[in-house]
Amino acid sequence: MQRTALGYLKKWLASSDRKPLVLRGARQVGKTWLVRQLAHETGKKLIEINLEKHPKLASSFASNEPATILKQLRFDLEIAIDPSNCLLFIDEIQAAPHLFPKLRWFAEDMPELAVIAAGSLLEFVLGHHEFSMPVGRISYMYIEPLSFVEFLLAHKREELVAQIKEFTWQEQISAFTHEKLMALFKEYIIVGGMPAVVHSWSTKQDISDVSRLHNDILHTYRDDFGKYSSKTPQERLQEVLTAVPLHLGEKFVCSNVNADVRAEVVKEALELLAKARVCHKIMASSSNGVPLGAELLKAYIKVILLDVGLSSSDLGLKLSELASIQEIDLINKGGIAEQVTGQLLRTIGPFYQEPALYYWINPEKSSSAEIDYVIQHGSRVVPIEVKAGASGKLKSLHRFMHLKNLPLAVRINSAPPSKYTVDLKDTQGNPLHYELRSLPFYLIGELDRLLQG
């Protein structure tokens, strides 16, 4: 399996000023595989310590002296350790959170040793830490499920990846290739981007095995619920996890989860699932400028799951049924289209930057205008509408563009790529003049490049 994150890890490893690296991401998105593959491809000797499987090994880090720690590890693991030729991997570090601040000593006293830490529930440690954070002494890297391009690479479709990577506005994608990419994107909607599931589908092409693996992953997350918080009942966490796929694309309303439970309890359960990166919140922003997070409308939140395959599995969607549907936006009343778009938008930023999703809603009670996503591109605010076909109505987008007076907007749909100038009057008679760049779902990963110029 080819993952873009591996290239970033190789650059980190080769950097002369690297710091200990902390991988952050949900369980089973491939953090451990990435580190093992990094060691394999670079010839580094991997010293892997899983603190959930072997909690007693935390005692090896009792000292604040890296040399002493390595000496103890040498005895405990019965292996020779050459700092300049080894990669120390502390997995599931949240099981021993007191080790987190010790990473700074490796940065200061033993920079020749490459150190990576990872944990599926790190957000809980970082949110309730009672220790001094090693600010400036560590780096973070954020890992998401496989993107659509990585999904294609897992299926050895390198030429299709080249078509995506090399596409420019000066050329066209043939109707044949477009249909082929859209058919594969529908596969991606059902299979998703969880590495184990993608690997199974690419090698077996057995949809029942895909379903089984999705079920296993969801069960793993449910088994984790007891670790999230002793104060929040597991039933509430389960209810939120079940409700999210059912209400994709809608404002998150606590009563839709359980009308008999206090809103504060439901919100706490959602917050815990977001911390575990099982769910992602889409925050409403006034979108008057950047950063988008500076003007949040806190009463408005939408939620997606971390992976479209898990959402599709929970909704009971089947590949055979999906193949007969022409427009992805029609599935689940457009919720799946917003899910997969949000998921892929989280993959287009730099690995060192925590992904965040925003949307816009007109808070005026008399208005129903809403923009599915709003992103920051350089110093610009760019709205993104997820629409069916090439001729879906753009009433909300027109309203947004009038209010914000922006020059550029994006539409994501199932049609071939195109761009043109919108020059008309909206329903209220206001003149509109802006450029609309329309991208098929399979080009979402190239959004940053295709917004240039």
> Final residue of a domain: which of 93, 108, 142?
142
Considering the domain architecture, whether residues 338 and 431 belong to the same structural domain is answered as: yes
Judge whether 300 and 251 are in contact, CB under 8 Å: yes
Q: What is the mean pLDDT of residues 2-6?
A: 96
Q: What is the mean pLDDT of residues 26-49?
A: 97
Cα–Cα distance for residue pair 96/433, rounded to 1 Å? 57
Please give the share of the chain, as a percent, with pLDDT higher than 90: 81
Structural tokens at position 126: 């970082």
Please, what sign has the CA dihedral across residues 73, 74, 76, 79? positive
Tokens 């002793």: give the residue: 230
DSSP, collapsed to helix, strand or coil, labels residue 24 as: strand
Q: What is the pLDDT of residues 86-133, one digit of tens each?
A: 999 999 998 998 898 899 999 999 999 999 999 888 777 676 666 666
Q: What is the pLDDT of residues 241-263, one digit of tens each?
A: 999 999 999 999 999 999 999 99
Q: What is the pLDDT of residues 352-396, one digit of tens each?
A: 999 999 999 998 877 888 999 999 999 999 999 998 544 457 889
Cα–Cα distance for residue pair 85/422, rounded to 1 Å? 58
Considering the domain architecture, whether residues 116 and 177 belong to the same structural domain is answered as: no
Considering the domain architecture, whether residues 165 and 101 belong to the same structural domain is answered as: no
Task: Give the per-residue pLDDT at 375.
Answer: 98
Judge whether 118 and 23 are in contact, CB under 8 Å: yes
Considering the domain architecture, whether residues 48 and 173 belong to the same structural domain is answered as: no
Considering the domain architecture, whether residues 202 and 347 belong to the same structural domain is answered as: yes
pLDDT(220) > 50: yes
Please, what sign has the CA dihedral across residues 301, 297, 338, 152? negative
Considering the domain architecture, whether residues 122 and 218 belong to the same structural domain is answered as: no
Residues 6+ apart with CB under 8 A from 49: 57, 60, 73, 88, 89, 90, 91
Task: Please state, rounded to an integer, the average pLDDT across all residues of the chain.
Answer: 92
123 dihedral zone (left: phi>0; alpha: psi -120 to 50; beta): alpha
Considering the domain architecture, whether residues 80 and 172 belong to the same structural domain is answered as: no
Q: What is the mean pLDDT of residues 419-429?
A: 89
> How many CA atoms, within 13 angstroms, populate the side-chain half-sphere of residue 130?
1
Considering the domain architecture, whether residues 169 and 237 belong to the same structural domain is answered as: yes
Task: Give the per-residue pLDDT at 1.
Answer: 83
Considering the domain architecture, whether residues 432 and 313 belong to the same structural domain is answered as: yes
Considering the domain architecture, whether residues 134 and 167 belong to the same structural domain is answered as: no
Which structural domain, as residue segments, surrounds residue 18?
4-142
Structural tokens at position 265: 């309890």
Other CB atoms within a 10 A radius of the CB of residue 44 amount to: 18
Residues 6+ apart with CB under 8 A from 387: 329, 393, 394, 411, 412, 413
Structural tokens at position 317: 């969607």
Task: Give the per-residue pLDDT at 239.
Answer: 96
Question: How many domains is the chain built from?
Answer: 2
Considering the domain architecture, whether residues 171 and 127 belong to the same structural domain is answered as: no
Considering the domain architecture, whether residues 154 and 52 belong to the same structural domain is answered as: no
Please give the share of the chain, as a percent, with pLDDT higher than 70: 94
pLDDT(268) > 70: yes
pLDDT(155) > 80: yes
pLDDT(324) > 90: no
Cα–Cα distance for residue pair 89/38, rounded to 1 Å? 11
φ/ψ of 224, rounded to 5, equals: -75, -15
Q: What is the pLDDT of residues 167-204, one digit of tens each?
A: 999 999 999 999 999 999 999 999 999 999 999 999 99
Assign residue 107 the CATH number of its domain.
3.40.50.300
> Final residue of a domain: which of 84, 118, 142?
142
- Helix, strand, coil share (%) of the chain residues, nearest 5: 45, 20, 35
Burial class (CB in 10 A: 0-12, 13-18, 19+), 223: exposed
Task: Give the per-residue pLDDT at 228.
Answer: 75
Residues 6+ apart with CB under 8 A from 223: none
> Final residue of a domain: which of 142, 176, 201?
142
Q: For the ranges 25-29, 235-239, 424-428, 432-436, which has the lowest average pLDDT?
A: 424-428
Residues 6+ apart with CB under 8 A from 437: 408, 409, 410, 411, 417, 418, 419, 450, 451
Helix (H) or strand (E) holding 222: helix 207-228
Task: Give the per-residue pLDDT at 390.
Answer: 46
pLDDT(350) > 60: yes
Task: Give the per-residue pLDDT at 290.
Answer: 94
> What is the pTM (predicted TM-score) of this model?
0.94
